[in-house]
């Protein structure tokens, strides 16, 4: 029995089967490369769903984490600590906003945004208590908590987890008319991914995000952009909303904010929105802890230089050019995405997304399938052009 098979058998026996991982057991990683327990090297073209935008073991982030580990790691918010103010100030500045509410995971940040919008709706907009509505898009992915799956349209994510949290209205993604009809005087927010990641890297029609911005401003509704996966450099901009020159009222951030080191998420908005909270009304034991702040502060500093956004733009143009050549060649029916992020639809007869992912794994490239026939490419932004080209060679080979 191989080390790999042993490890997988014992994981299967003792963990709940909430995932169906590829049969690779990672032991170490650096940059865009991971090494398994048997010494085989794999190119990581998933990057932890964008949690690893800066690559594995990024020097600056590991150093920031290590020096903070030696000083203080957790205080709880019962006390101040000396990394908190800098983190909030710098992240707010990166977003062009006034206030930050730090949490840990993405789903918690989405929950926090939902609570923010409802409280804002009752206390600022004047919606009658208990009547707040939030409009969301079909095929969304915003996390896994009971409230968040209440407004999912994915049966696996939602079925048998009811009773569901009320107060959400679902409209087709990319449809401004439907959105306009769904917004009423009790609507407090529109919650959207500027590019739908889990749905298969779906980029909305041009003009959609700016239309949402206009509509929400006119109707006194918060525009909350879930940039957990699309944000922080992935698409070639700090935020995917920037591609349409849009500034939402609320940014929801996670994944790459923790630099692939620790879970860090946040809701970022102006004072007229996040100012609704008073002590005791929301919180998290680990949210905004010193270790998280030290790492995220370094992430923000790295993003302030613009170099990662630039890399994502340049390598992304190259990636989309190469992928575009595959469309119509028989094996690929469509490619979508922006920057270093792509959804590739595999033609029927050329294998499911899972099968293509397994064949890529055999060629030492790791990707993740989604929705049956799509594979998703999101390599770390630090990947070299040579490695990206090598990964694309492997993709061409498995589709040949």
Ligand X SMILES: *Cc1c(COP(=O)(O)O)cnc(C)c1O
List active site positions. Answer: 141, 226, 255
Site residues (CB under 6 A) for ligand X, limited to 195-224:
197
Interacting residues with ligand X between 95 and 114 (CB under 6 A): 105-107, 110
Residue number with CB closer to ligand X (34 or 266): 266
Q: How far is the CB of 226 from ligand X (least distance, A)?
A: 5
Question: Is residue 120 near ligand X by the rule CB under 6 A?
Answer: no
Is 143 an interacting residue with respect to ligand X (CB under 6 A)? yes
Q: How far apart are CA 312 and CA 238, in angstroms?
A: 10
Residue 262 CB, shortest distance to ligand X, in Å, is 12
Q: Which stretch binds ligand X (CB under 6 A): 75-83, 136-144, 325-333, 382-390?
A: 136-144
Site size for ligand X (CB under 6 A): 15
Which of 25, 107 has the CB closer to ligand X?
A: 107
Binding mask 250-269 for ligand X (x = CB under 6 A): ----xx--------------
Q: Is 229 in the site for ligand X (CB under 6 A)?
A: yes
Binding mask 287-316 for ligand X (x = CB under 6 A): ------------------------------
Nearer to ligand X, 55 or 231 (CB): 231
Partner residues linked to 166 by β-bridges: none
Residues 43-82 that bind ligand X (CB under 6 A): 49
Q: Does 226 bind ligand X (CB under 6 A)?
A: yes
- The nearest distance, CB 46 to ligand X, in angstroms, is 12
Question: Which of 127/135 has CB closer to ligand X?
Answer: 135
* Measured CA distances, 158 to 140, 153, 197, 200 (Å): 12, 7, 18, 18
Write a three-state SS string for the chain: CCHHHHHHHHHHHHCCCCCCCCCCCEEEEEECEEEECCCCEEEECCHHHHCCCCCECCHHHHHHHHHHHCCCCCCCCCCCCCCHHHHHHHHHHHHCCCEEEEECCHHHHHHHHHHHHHHHHHHHHCCCCCCCEEEEECCCCCCCCHHHHHCCCCHHHHCCCCCCCCCEEEECCCCHHHHHHHCCCCEEEEEECCCECCCCCECCCCCHHHHHHHHHHHCCCEEEEECCCCCCCCCCCCCHHHHHCCCCCEEEECHHHHCCCCCCEEEEECHHHHCCCCCCCCCCCCCCCHHHHHHHHHHHHHHHCCHHHHHHHHHHHHHHHHHHHHECCCCEEEEEECCCCEEEEECCCCCCHHHHHHHHHHCCEECEEECCCEEEECCCCCCCHHHHHHHHHHHHHHHC
CB of 108 to ligand X, least distance (A): 7
User: What is the nearest approach in angstroms of ligand X to the Cβ of residue 309?
Assistant: 19
Q: Is 141 in the site for ligand X (CB under 6 A)?
A: yes
Of 142 and 243, nearer to ligand X (C-beta) is: 142
Nearest position to ligand X, beta carbon: 106
Q: Which stretch binds ligand X (CB under 6 A): 60-68, 138-146, 319-327, 390-398?
A: 138-146
Q: Could you list the residues that contact ligand X (CB under 6 A)?
A: 49, 105-107, 110, 141-143, 193, 197, 226, 228-229, 254-255
């Amino acid at each position: 029995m191989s080390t790999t098979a042993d490890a997988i058998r014992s994981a299967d026996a003792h963990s709940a089967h909430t995932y169906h991982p590829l049969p690779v057991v990672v032991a170490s990683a650096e940059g865009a490369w991971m090494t398994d327990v048997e010494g085989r090297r794999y190119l990581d073209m998933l990057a932890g769903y964008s949690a690893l935008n800066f690559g594995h073991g990024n020097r600056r982030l590991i150093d920031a984490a290590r020096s903070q580990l030696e000083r203080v790691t957790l205080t709880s918010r019962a006390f101040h600590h000396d990394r908190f103010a800098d983190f909030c100030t710098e992240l707010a500045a990166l977003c062009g906003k006034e206030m930050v509410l730090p949490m840990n995971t993405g789903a918690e940040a989405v929950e926090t945004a939902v609570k923010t919008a409802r409280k804002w709706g009752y206390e600022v907009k004047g919606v009658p208590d208990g009547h707040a509505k939030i409009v969301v898009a079909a095929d969304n992915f915003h996390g896994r908590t009971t409230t968040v799956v209440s407004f999912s349209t994915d049966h696996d994510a939602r079925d048998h987890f009811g009773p569901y949290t009320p107060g959400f209205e679902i409209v087709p993604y990319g449809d401004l008319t439907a959105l306009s009809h769904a917004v009423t005087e009790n609507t407090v927010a529109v919650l959207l991914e500027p590019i739908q990641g889990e749905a298969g890297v779906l980029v909305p029609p041009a003009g959609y995000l700016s239309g949402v911005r206009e509509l929400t401003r006119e109707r006194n509704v918060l525009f909350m952009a879930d940039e957990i996966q699309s944000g922080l450099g992935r698409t070639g901009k700090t935020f995917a909303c920037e591609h349409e020159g849009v500034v939402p009222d609320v940014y929801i951030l996670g994944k790459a904010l923790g630099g692939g080191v620790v879970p860090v998420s946040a809701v970022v908005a102006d004072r007229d929105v996040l100012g609704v909270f008073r002590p005791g009304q929301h919180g998290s034991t680990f949210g905004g802890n010193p270790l998280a702040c030290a790492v995220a502060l370094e992430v923000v500093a790295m993003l302030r230089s613009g170099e990662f956004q630039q890399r994502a733009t340049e390598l992304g143009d190259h990636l989309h050019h190469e992928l575009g050549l595959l469309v119509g060649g028989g094996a690929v029916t469509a490619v979508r995405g922006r920057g270093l992020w792509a959804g590739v639809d595999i033609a029927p007869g050329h294998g499911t997304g899972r099968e293509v992912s397994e064949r890529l794994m055999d060629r030492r490239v790791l990707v993740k399938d989604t929705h049956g026939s799509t594979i998703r490419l999101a390599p770390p932004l630090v990947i070299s052009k040579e490695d990206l080209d090598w990964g694309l060679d492997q993709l061409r080979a498995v589709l040949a």
